[in-house]
Amino acid sequence: MIIVMNPGVKEEEIQRVVKKLKDAGLGVHLSVGEFRTIIGAIGDEKLVREIGLEAIPSIERVLPITQPFKLVGREFKPEDSVFDLGSCKIGGDEIVIMAGPCAVESEEQLLEAAMGVKAAGAQILRGGAFKPRTSPYAFQGLEEEGLKLLAKVREKTGLPIVTEVMDQHTVGIVNEYTDIIQVGARNMQNFYMLRELGKLTKPILLKRGLSATMEEWLMAAEYVMSGGNRQVILCERGIRTFETYTRNTLDLSAVPVVKHLSHLPVIVDPSHGTGNWRWVPSMSRAAVAAGADGVMIEVHPHPEMALCDGAQSLTVEKFSILLDELRKVAAVFDKRLGTVS
């Protein structure tokens, strides 16, 4: 249920309502906006009705939440969520750029990529230490050694890092090293892992599943947020369709739809969405035009030598050209690319 407080309500009245909800065994989420304070009550709606909230003068109205996702939805929090990551903001008027190699291969490769993407304007370094692959014979990543290399390169460049977690057993070690924890498409509905991530205070980048509906994607985010972690970033990375010319079908319609339904930031991964570096620039420009809060792009200093996904990786030079183009697209919509500290 959503409890809308009267304009200008006093803090003690808000806390009175919060106490009544907690005493009834309900979870409480407080959203203080510029003009309205909204209290979300999580739990059995029958309990909300039984405590007679409508009789409290400081409450304007009590409304049911019509969507199955409560904390994720705009009914609960009308304003866009914006997360701070050092000097970087995810959401709002800035377009965040996450870039780097698909997999960490060596310190030299990672550092060269990191220095290149930072010089071009990326604010966050991406790189896979654990690599879930379709084939058991494919390169699986350097695992903890890869995490250590990411942390080492972060010290040298100042770029925060985002890397993928494999399962609930690796949440602890990935949390120890990274700044943003990525949930890959194949793990979007790993509910045991999502519950573990809900206990953390670190941003979670939640990729859309290979065949997931938008509602299923948002419900996966709800799992994390219901555990207490409200810093979830949604990532559209393409879904599986009958089309074979691209690796996946990048669903850019998901950007405006999900931003209509949810207050969470949405970024787009055109590298996995297309599977071919040729289509990455056009889909990146389209993502920004569609209203995405950022893009995640695979960049490798030598794609022809990459151990993983070289065909969809941009060179540093092509990446730099792309960011110049994205600055122009962002400006059309009164947005800007975030700056690098």
pLDDT digits (tens, 9 = 90+) for 146-180: 999 999 999 999 999 999 999 999 999 999 999 99
Judged by DSSP in three states, 115 sits in helix
Q: How confident is the model at residue 138 (pLDDT cuts 50, 70, 90)?
A: low
The rounded mean pLDDT for the chain is: 92
* Tens of pLDDT, residues 218-236: 999 999 999 999 999 999 9
CATH class of 2-63: alpha beta
Question: Diameter of the chain by CA atoms?
Answer: 69
Element spanning 96, H or E: strand 94-100
Tokens of 8: 């200008």
What percentage of the chain's residues is helix, strand, coil (to nearest 5)?
40, 20, 40
Q: What is the pLDDT of residue 137?
A: 63
- pLDDT level of residue 119 (50, 70, 90 thresholds): very high
pLDDT > 80? residue 213: yes
Calculate mean pLDDT across residues 318-335: 97
**Closest C-alpha to 98, from 240, 251, 284:** 284
Pairing of strands 204-207, 180-183: parallel
What single letter denotes the amino acid at residue 159? L
Domain ranges of the chain: 2-63, 83-337
| Tokens 């960490």 belong to residue | 104
pLDDT given at position 35: 76
Residue 29: predicted pLDDT: 82
pTM of the predicted model as reported, rounded to 2 decimal places = 0.89
DSSP labels, 149-216: HHHHHHHHH---EEEEE-SGGGHHHHHHH-SEEEEPGGGTT-HHHHHHHTT--S-EEEEPPTT--HHH
pLDDT tops 80 at residue 136: no
Q: How many residues does this entry show for the chain? A: 341
- Three-class SS of 290-339: CCCCEEEEEECCCHHHCCCCHHHCECHHHHHHHHHHHHHHHHHCCCEECC
Superfamily of domain 83-337 in CATH is: Aldolase class I (3.20.20.70)
Please give the single-letter amino acid code of residue 59. Answer: I
Query: Is 69 in a helix, a strand, or coil?
Result: coil
Distance CA 90, CA 88 (A): 7
pLDDT digits (tens, 9 = 90+) for 42-56: 877 777 778 888 889
What pLDDT shows up at residue 139?
62
What pLDDT does residue 282 have?
98
Please determine, for residue 253, whether its predicted confidence score (pLDDT) is greater than 80.
yes
Quick check: do 2-63 and 83-337 share a fold? no
Confidence band for 283, pLDDT divided at 50, 70 and 90: very high
pLDDT for residue 83: 95
30: pLDDT confidence band, cut at 50, 70 and 90? confident
Share of residues in the chain with pLDDT > 70 (%)? 97
Q: Which residue has the higher pLDDT, 279 or 341?
A: 279
| More confident site: 54 or 102 | 102
Copy the structure tokens of residue 310.
């070289």
Band of the pLDDT at 91, cuts 50, 70, 90? very high
Residue 262: band (very low, low, confident or very high) from pLDDT cuts 50, 70, 90? very high
